[in-house]
Chain A
Amino acid sequence: MSTLFGSSIKRREDPRLITGKGTFVDDVSLAGMVYAGILRSPYAHAKIKKIDATAARGLSGVLAVYTGADLTDALIPVPCAWNLPNADLKLPPHPHLAVEKVRYVGDGVAMVIAESRAIVRDALDLIDVDYEPLKAVVNPEAALKPGAPVLHADVAGNQAFKWVVAGGDADGAFAKAEVKVALTIKQNRLLPTAMEPRAAVASYNAGTGQLTLWATSQNPHIHRFLCSVMLKLPEHRVRIISPDVGGGFGSKIPAYADEALVAFASMKLGRPVKWTEDRSENYKATIHGRDHVQYVELCGTKAGQITGIRTTVYAGLGAYASTAGPGVPTILHGLMYSGAYTIPNIHGTIYGAYTTTTPVDAYRGAGRPEATYLIERLVDTFARELGADPVEVRRKNFIPQDKFPYTVATGITYDSGNYEGTLDKALGMLDYKGFRAEQAKALKQGRFLGVGVCTYTEICGLGPSQVAGAIGFGGGLYDSAIVRVYPTGMVRVYIGTKPHGQGEETTFAQIVADEFGYPVESVEIVSGDTDNTPQGWGTYGSRTTAVGGTAVKIAAQRVKEKAKKLAAHLLEANERDLEWKDGKFMVRGSPDKAKGFAELALMANVAWNMPAGLEPGLEATAFFDPSNFVYPFGAHLCTVEVDAETGQVKILRYIAVDDCGNVINPMIVDGQVHGGVIQGIGEALQEIAIYDDDGQLLTGTMMDYAVPKASQMPHLELARTVTPSPVNPMGVKGVGETGTIAAAATVVNAVCDALAPLGIRHIDKPLTPATVWAAIQRAKGGAA
């Protein structure tokens, strides 16, 4: 019988989304609902001398105005949930609304609750706050310098943590190295920009003591846990419903002050309360990504063997440590310093810095793009220094295919890989040699062509819970599923992960339908409501399929095992004599003696004739805790032409060969790669969040922050190889972030390759025409 696993069936979630029938949080309306709005600081750093809300409170239709002083006893400050060990981590209190001081433009100062959104806006305008501005500091390295303005009285020098990753003897390797190269890299700050802004609708029932909170969440169980802490509510009385979610990219992982504030207001006022951020709030008050200053160096032999990597990284955390903030630039970054290579000596020092900016947390890739980028830029720089082909230098340093599982110097163990395989395939698609010839010819005509290569691997499928505990992650990292079969045979699967565009309503249904010999339409996947889904940890870190999908598979297998017992009983046969064929259990050799799955579902649910010892009903729960992370990998190639007159970069071809293990639905995987690559190209060419020295966000609208558009993106050529993961029974890895992890390095490598004849070694992304043009001018000036 043919399987659904591996086939590009159309997505189950599509029909409702295509007809406007999806339900996103802002679409939820409740009887008697009122609206919340949050007054946000216009200053990056200031003392609050006085807040006068008299006029706002007096406005007709205003139910309440709250300030920080009203909350200090009522709410536990916003927690950071990644308690990074061995790093002297400092977590100053993060109040829901600022008390005494504001620390970034967008910091909440007051909340208005009113009968309509228009009245909320009017009332916010009437609140008078007397600020005493203080000096801002937006650069993480500058924030740690003596004399920098101090954000938190109890964090001297703004240092949130100092974390070290080390393996081998990096200093020794550098001391005796034949070749050394160094780069200073700025990882541009990025705005995740989910198209759906964050929103929350809270409804507190004083009679039952139950809070229902519709929230834009990638991980409703984490939000339930953290909301119950912040609101001092028993966790079993908090229900989070995360319905359709319009993209997250990491920005809907954290627990924010805002959602808890809305819940607080509903509890106080006894009315349902809705809050939806507008886009400018989204840019100021929803987490940002990246923001590193990196000093990195690589050493090796003249023959091209890499012997060591050393880094000093300043990672901006923003004004407060967001939920996963401390873990992103450390665990998810520093541990990946070996990349796809056997680098015996590694040393990295990572400083986390508080700056007067919006908190920084996980944005698609989260720490891994920043690692891949620095490694891949260094490897290219090394190859250039040697006068060697960057492809050959990579090949020379790859972890060989027969060495997996392979433990790198940072101590983590890669599950499986075949790096040569993806590289060879990509080179073949491009005709690498041919392009090099074309490039040389073009150069003679004064045209600058370049090819960039990035051979990445990444850590995802987060991950073993025991490791989560050891690295200070404030939760588990297993995931879960309940497979419930109804009397008519229809199936619902309740999952602990929370897909929001990645298509698991389809791929998980494929897994279960395969197991039961069903059409995919008979299986419904339910996520997002903590009242009916089992404890899980959500969708991020490309974990949903590898971890949550495995839980689905195991639960389905358990159901099937039970069905088999019942089938044996009803067929009066020995279980051992049954075989599963064409969606039926049949007695081997007697195909007329058979029971289909739907019939068994009915018999199990009515329980008229159960074998001794077998309980009625047909459902199973599984919690799957993986033994390791998974490590997808691949080779991306990109060719560009740079217009030396204007600095404009034109991508000629972009080739992505990825290996994410076995593929359940190729169409969905392609979509994930497309999206990831385009976000990475955006990071490479045009996206940057800019603060001025006073801490004002200059890129506060979609007109200023350059989210890629249809007209700006090249055609992408995708291919795959398949190297199954040994970590889970389906052999799957993750694919949601690979594109973003690979693309920025690929594109920047290509541009630097194109401009190498001008003596340009490195240009910081984003490679806007102005930036590239300036670099060309500098290079020409230097040459003159």
Chain B
Amino acid sequence: MPTGRITITLEVNGTPRVIAVDPRTTLLDALRECLGLTGTKKGCDHGECGACTVLLDGRRINACLTLAVMQEGHRVTTIEGLASGAALHPVQTAFLAQDAFQCGFCTPGQILSAVGCIAEGRATTRETIREGMSGNLCRCSAYPEIVEAVFLAATQPGSP
């Protein structure tokens, strides 16, 4: 085992988590490997696909592009922490309603990205949604449904 592990605290889905990581560990690997939160997916590890999108202090970020040690003390929201109890997040509900995925591999990243996109105020029209969601690839190409889902979530009453 390489020496020089660093102990850090992340607030993950509302709970402070203490982990010891090799300084090279990305936030993505820290979530998946150290914390067992495998809902966040790795599609490229290079910031090219968006599968690893999580919220960092409420803003969307590619978890593969940042090191875990850089996020000491920050708030991370993953797909596992999006719903409040049994109640799905409105974006999750919209994805269900619109059939916005097929294999589901890109889906956690799409949903977190959608939450971020809506919060940024960029999800006003289908056109801006297409643009705002273009960092999240879906090879099943559920784009028509994804765009509808984000539109639905962004425009329904009481939307996030």
Question: Which A residues contact B (CB, under 8 angstroms)?
Answer: 10-11, 13-15, 17-24, 26-27, 29, 60-61, 115-119, 192-197, 244-247, 249, 276, 278-279, 500-503, 667-668, 670-672, 674-679, 682, 701-703, 707-713, 715-716
Contacts and interface: CB of A to CB of B under 8 A. Distances in A.
Interface in B131-160: 131, 133-147
Contact of A20 (B22, B40, B101, B144): B40
Most interface-central of B39, B51, B138, B141 (chain A CB within 10 A): B141
24 contacts: A10-B99, A14-B96, A14-B101, A17-B104, A18-B92, A18-B95, A18-B104, A23-B38, A24-B105, A116-B1, A116-B2, A194-B105, A244-B104, A279-B49, A500-B103, A501-B104, A502-B102, A676-B141, A677-B141, A678-B143, A679-B139, A702-B46, A702-B48, A707-B139
A279 B37 contact: no
Given A116-B1, A710-B130, 4 more contacts: A20-B78, A119-B2, A195-B138, A279-B46
A24 B108 CA distance: 13
B79 interface: yes
Q: Which 5 A-B pairs have the closest CB atoms?
A: A20-B39, A246-B105, A17-B104, A501-B103, A20-B79
A710 B133 contact: yes
Given A17-B107, A119-B2, A501 B49 contact: no
Contacts of B111: 18
Contacts of A119: 1-2
B15 to A, nearest CB: 16
Interface in B36-50: 36-46, 48-49
Given A27-B38, A675-B140, A711-B130, A703 B104 contact: no
B80 A19 contact: yes
Contact of A196 (B41, B144, B147): B41
A670 B130 CA distance: 19
Given A247-B103, A671-B99, A19 B48 contact: no
Contacts of A244: 103-105
A702 B137 contact: yes
Contacts of A19: 39, 79-80, 82-83, 88, 92
Contact of A702 (B1, B44, B103, B144): B44
Most interface-central of B37, B51, B79, B103 (chain A CB within 10 A): B103
A317 to B, nearest CB: 24
B24 interface: yes
A675 B37 CA distance: 29
A118 B2 CA distance: 9
Nearest to B39: A20
B106 interface: yes
A247 B142 contact: no
A539 B45 CA distance: 28
Contacts of A117: 29
Contacts of A711: 130-131, 133-134
Contact of B108 (A20, A247, A709, A715): A20
A702 B49 contact: yes
B117 to A, nearest CB: 11
Given A18-B88, A675-B102, A710 B134 contact: yes
Contacts of B80: 19-21
B42 A26 contact: yes
B4 to A, nearest CB: 12
B145 A709 contact: no
B104 A709 contact: no
A589 B106 CA distance: 55
B144 A716 contact: yes
Contact of B43 (A22, A197, A672, A678): A197
Contact of B105 (A116, A192, A195, A712): A195
Given A10-B96, A671-B102, A702-B48, A21 B141 contact: no
Main secondary structure of the interface of B (DSSP, over half): loop
B49 A713 contact: no
B143 to A, nearest CB: 5
A30 to B, nearest CB: 13
Contacts of A14: 95-96, 99, 101, 104
Contacts of A667: 99
A247 B143 contact: no
A508 to B, nearest CB: 16
B141 A195 contact: no
A20 B82 CA distance: 10
A675 B97 CA distance: 18
Contacts of B147: 710
Contacts of A671: 99, 102, 140, 142, 145
A398 to B, nearest CB: 30
A656 to B, nearest CB: 12
Most interface-central of B2, B40, B130, B143 (chain A CB within 10 A): B143
A710 B102 contact: no
Contact of B103 (A60, A246, A703): A246
A602 B111 CA distance: 42
Given A18-B96, A279-B48, A671-B102, A709 B134 contact: yes
Most interface-central of A194, A197, A671, A710 (chain B CB within 10 A): A710
Nearest to A672: B102
Contacts of B142: 671, 674-675
A15 B22 CA distance: 34
Contacts of B129: 710
Given A10-B96, A119-B2, A713-B144, A196 B130 contact: no
B141 A674 contact: yes
Contacts of A11: 99
A591 B153 CA distance: 48
Given A18-B96, A671-B145, A710-B134, A195 B49 contact: yes
A247 B137 contact: no
A668 B140 CA distance: 12
A117 B138 CA distance: 27
A247 B83 contact: no
A198 to B, nearest CB: 12
A245 B102 CA distance: 10
Contacts of B138: 195, 710
B39 to A, nearest CB: 2
A13 B95 CA distance: 13
B125 to A, nearest CB: 13
Contacts of A675: 102, 140-142
A501 B106 CA distance: 11
Interface in B20-66: 22, 24, 29, 32, 36-46, 48-49, 51
A2 to B, nearest CB: 21
Contacts of A115: 1
Nearest to B93: A18
Nearest to A716: B144
Nearest to B127: A711
A22 B38 CA distance: 9
Contacts of B32: 26-27
A27 B39 CA distance: 8
Contacts of B107: 17-18
A195 B49 CA distance: 8
Given A18-B88, A19-B39, A503 B143 contact: no
A246 B130 contact: no
A498 to B, nearest CB: 12
Nearest to B104: A17
B105 A118 contact: no
Contacts of A707: 137, 139
A333 B34 CA distance: 48
Most interface-central of A119, A276, A675, A682 (chain B CB within 10 A): A675
B84 to A, nearest CB: 12
Contacts of A246: 41, 103-106
A626 B128 CA distance: 48
A119 B36 CA distance: 20
Contacts of B134: 709-712
A68 B48 CA distance: 33
Most interface-central of A701, A708, A709 (chain B CB within 10 A): A709
B144 A674 contact: yes
